[in-house]
Amino acid sequence: MTKIHDRISKEIGIHGSRWHIMHGGYFSDPSIAAPFIDMLLKVIDISRPGVVVDIGGGTGFLLRELIKRRIDSGIHLVNLDMSQKQLDMSQHDRIVPINKAVDAFRREDTGMQDRRFLFMMRSALHYHGKDGLMPALQHLRFQMKRGEFFVHQTACFKNDGDARCLNRLYDYMGTDKWYPTAEYLCRCLKKAGWSIKSIVPAPALPLTSQDLGKRYGLGKRRLSEIRDELVKCFGETEDIFMLTRDGFCAYLHYRILTCVAV
């Protein structure tokens, strides 16, 4: 859990109200979230959960979007996040905050462990790093009962070269977040005890060097060094890593995976 705490701590400065405007407002834009919300509504209609847990739910934006779409008032909504600063932004009479790390969370923490669960997650698996991916998926599976759903929007890449480029970028920025290929992620999910019912694309996230500098405390000189190293190692690839007039822009490519515990 220490490594996860370290990764979160590096970004604490952009938590709270600042989070809503980071990366062009990607994580607070209803139109960008729509494909994920639409999939969640389909799964809620199929599985009829009594509890929905947003893992790494941050400011509670996604849960509020579900409420706006008039999901059943009897569904218990839980926002699980390590950052109290994020949870402070998620106040809503229907949302119950739980301030814990993913790997410390237990089904019993909700007080409603006997009800049917749905886990949702957007852009959070990478916080566990390469070595922590399988343990995180196994832990989540252990908290679920057979037949319960896990719907997550996770950044993953179609080939190893693209994944290596983004992982090298994050390594240069001093964080060991890690992004898999889509194929590797699917293998891990199946090994952890999940059956994958569908995989659909979600909007990519543009990461400008300016935003990354703010998020990770990087100055212009360091960003310039990172740009030069990545160009030397990987060159430019459209919609993966490209130079701009003021620096560079990298892209996280997301997929929405609907999984069932088996």
Q: Is residue 192 part of a domain?
A: yes
Q: Which residues pair with 153 in a beta bridge?
A: 122, 256
Q: Tell me the CATH number at 167.
A: 3.40.50.150
Q: Is residue 6 part of a domain?
A: yes
Write out the two tokens for 260. 């069932």
CA 172, CA 226: separation in Å to the nearest integer?
6
Q: Is residue 139 part of a domain?
A: yes
CA 90, CA 60: separation in Å to the nearest integer?
5
β-pair type (247-261, 117-122): unpaired
What are the tens digits of pLDDT across the range 217-231? 999 999 999 999 999
Split into its structural domains, the chain has a count of 1
Q: Is residue 216 part of a domain?
A: no
The amino acid at 103: D
Q: Is residue 13 part of a domain?
A: yes
CA 71, CA 93: separation in Å to the nearest integer?
14
Q: Is residue 235 part of a domain?
A: no
What are the tens digits of pLDDT across the range 21-52? 678 889 999 999 999 999 999 999 999 999 99
What are the tens digits of pLDDT across the range 57-103? 999 999 999 999 999 999 999 999 988 888 888 778 999 999 999 99
**Using CB atoms within 10 A of its CB, is residue 49 exposed (0-12), middle (13-18) or buried (19+)?**
buried
Segments forming the whole domain that contains residue 105: 2-206+252-261
